[in-house]
Every structure is written in structure tokens, then in C-alpha cells.
Amino acid sequence: MPTRMAQTDTEQMGARAASGPPRRSIPVVELEDVTKVYDGGSIGLEQASMKIGRGEFVFLVGPTGCGKSTCIRLLQKELEPSRGEIRIAGRTLGEIPRARVPHLRRNIGVVFQDYKLLPNRTIYDNVAYSLQVIGESRQEIRRKVPDILRLVGLATKLHNYPDELSGGEQQRVSIARAFVNHPPLLLADEPTGNLDPETSIGIMQLIYRINRTGTTVIVATHDREMVDKMRRRVIELREGRIVRDELSGLYRPDESTTEFAVRLRGELGVGAEGHPN
């Protein structure tokens, strides 16, 4: 029953997303009753449904093991859902043949907690790789890579290797790599998980700036401070289920925010009963 409620919530909210497009446009990301059970029997995601419109900024929050990473990996088609359907820009992921998966991934920028830079390439080459992959010409690469590295504030470290950079700098490189070919969707899995609060703010600024260019951004995080300060849409997961979906939420709402949420939902014509928080 709680799931049902959350589901209806999600649908309505997706349609009315603040910065979102008009009602009729196709959501960038759509999960429909998605369940992921791992081979060992553990549940990654259970009957999760959500719609995320174009240009939205969404936080996926919840404790470790709640299904945030599963969700991100499902969206990249790194995993296949056990049940349910995932659509990205209207295309069902299950119907994309194996050979077309690289093309899907070129349209999704990804930022990881552990950066996942290629250790035997310079910063420049790391970013250039995601352009080489799409067959971009050399002139274009020479033009775009320094540009994006200037944007993330690493113009002076072009020819350093990843292990010569600090964590924050490495994360900037990985953001540059994810964004260099301007994908319509950016996924970030704990982008600030390994960083100190000051550095985290810098990283989040970057991601926010990318969002402002019209890119849809989904950030999985347990950085409470960040979520509370940014007041964006929050989808909370717990043991694989979506337990909360608020348009402008806190990491874990205190008393007054819950009241606010009740009021918010009341306006949308949905009762708050059965909500776990």
C-alpha cells in the first residue's frame, strides 16, 4: 500500500516538476514497477516507479544498500531489471540490442564515487577518450577538451596523470569526461562520497551548473548537508523501495518539513496517510 501511494505521488510530481517541461513531453527517465533481484537473491530494487522530466535535478537518497547504486546501474544498462520497464527518453532499455548499448551510454554522462579515471592516461587523454569513442575528429577534440577542463578549473593540469591529483581534482576530471559531449542525462553515484565538505560544495556547484544548461541530473548521495541546502527534488529509497518523493526535500525531513510535505501533497490532491515518514 505505501508503495502504491508513492507511485501515484511520483507520477503526478513528474508531470508537474518545477523546472520541467509541459505535461505532454516524454520524461527523460521513467521507471515502471522495476524490481531487481540479484543472482544471490538479495533485492536491489523493489517495484520502483518514477518519472523524471527534462532538466530536473533529482537526489536519490537513503542509507547504503538501499538501491541507489542499483538504480544508477540499471539506467546505464549495466544491469538488467528482473521485472518492470525502464525507459530513457521514451526508449525501453530492455529492447535496446547489445550492440547499441554503447550508443545509449554515450548519451548518459556518469560520475562515480571512485572517479574511475583511466590510470595510464593523462587528464587530457582521459577526457579525450570519451570523444574518441564517438569518433570525434582530432581538431574537435583539441578544441573541446581544454575548454571543458578550463570549465572545471583544471586548465593547468592537462598533462598530469590521475594519481598526481587530489580527490576533488580527480572528481572534476570525471565530471569533465562525463559532460564533454554534452549528454542530455548526467548520473552521479555518490559524487562527493570520498570528499571533504568544502570540496564537495565545489563539485556540487559544477553539477548544478551542468544542470542549468538543461541537462537532467540524477545524484545518488548520502551527503545530508548537501541535500538539505540545495532543496531539490528528493527520492528516498529504503531497502529497495521508494518511500518518499518530494519536490523540494530534505535528506530526512524533520517535523516541520513533514508538515510541509503533507500540505504539499494535500494541494496535489493526494493523501499523506500510509507514508512511512
Partner 1 sequence: MRDVRRVRPIFFLREALRGLRRSSAPALAALLTVLLTALVLGVFIPIVQATTGTANEVRSRVVVDVYVSESATGEETADLRRSLMSTPNVESVEFISKGEALSRAKEKNPKAFKEGAELLGSNPLPASFRVTPEDPDHLQQIVDALAPNGQPRLAAIDEVRNREEETDKILSATGLVKGLTAGLAALLVLASIALVANTIRLSVFARRREVEVMKLVGATNWFIRWPFVIEGMIVGFFGGLLAVLLLTVAKETLIDPLSEDFALLAAPDTIDFPLLAALLMLACVLVAALGSGITLRRFLRV
* 277 binding partner 1? (CB under 8 A): no
Using CB under 8 A, pick the residue from 75, 110, 207, 243 that binds partner 1: 110
Using the rule CB under 8 A, is 138 a contact of partner 1?
A: yes
Asked if 135 interacts with partner 1 (CB under 8 A), we say yes
Which of residues 128 and 247 has its CB atom nearest to partner 1 in the complex?
128
- Residue of the chain from 103, 143, 224, 263 that contacts partner 1 (CB under 8 A): 103
* Cα(67)–Cα(261) distance, integer angstroms: 23
Residue type at 232 in one-letter notation: R
The residue among 133 and 155 lying less far from partner 1, judged by its C-beta, is 133
Grid coordinates representing 207? 553539477
129 binds partner 1 (CB under 8 A): yes
User: In angstroms, what CA-CA distances link 183 with 17, 131, 169, 234, 248?
Assistant: 21, 12, 21, 22, 25
CB of 177 to partner 1, least distance (A): 7
Here's the x/- map for partner 1, 53-82, by CB under 8 A: it reads as -----------------------x-x----
Residue 254 CB, shortest distance to partner 1, in Å, is 37
Rg (Cα) of the chain, in Å, rounded? 19
Nearest to 233 by CA among 32, 66, 14, 69: 14
164 binds partner 1 (CB under 8 A): no
Grid cell in block for residue 111: 560520475
The single residue listed with the C-alpha cell 556540487 is 204
CB of 246 to partner 1, least distance (A): 30
Q: Does 142 bind partner 1 (CB under 8 A)?
A: no
CB of 238 to partner 1, least distance (A): 27
Note whether 95 and 71 are within 8 A (CB): no
Going by C-alpha positions, the residue among 236, 249, 210 that lies closest to residue 18 is 249
Indicate which single residue of 28, 117, 227, 261 sits in contact with partner 1 (rule: CB under 8 A): 117
Between 75 and 247, CB nearer to partner 1: 75
Stretch that binds partner 1, among 19-27, 105-113, 151-159, 203-211 (CB under 8 A): 105-113
Q: How far is CA 277 from CA 13, 49, 93, 224, 259, in A?
A: 18, 18, 32, 16, 11
Assign residue 215 a region: left if phi > 0, alpha if psi is -120 to 50, beta otherwise? beta
Q: Quick check: 133 binds partner 1 (CB under 8 A)?
A: yes
Torsion of CA 142, 145, 147, 152, to 10 degrees: -160
User: CB-wise, 37 or 101, nearer to partner 1?
Assistant: 101
> Residue 248: phi, psi to the nearest 5?
-145, 80
Stretch of residues binding partner 1 (CB under 8 A), selected from 13-21, 130-138, 209-217, 233-241: 130-138
User: What's the angle, vertex CA 45, arms to CA 10 and CA 110, rounded to 5?
Assistant: 80
Contact positions toward partner 1, by CB under 8 A? 76, 78, 99, 102-106, 110, 116-121, 129-130, 132-138, 177
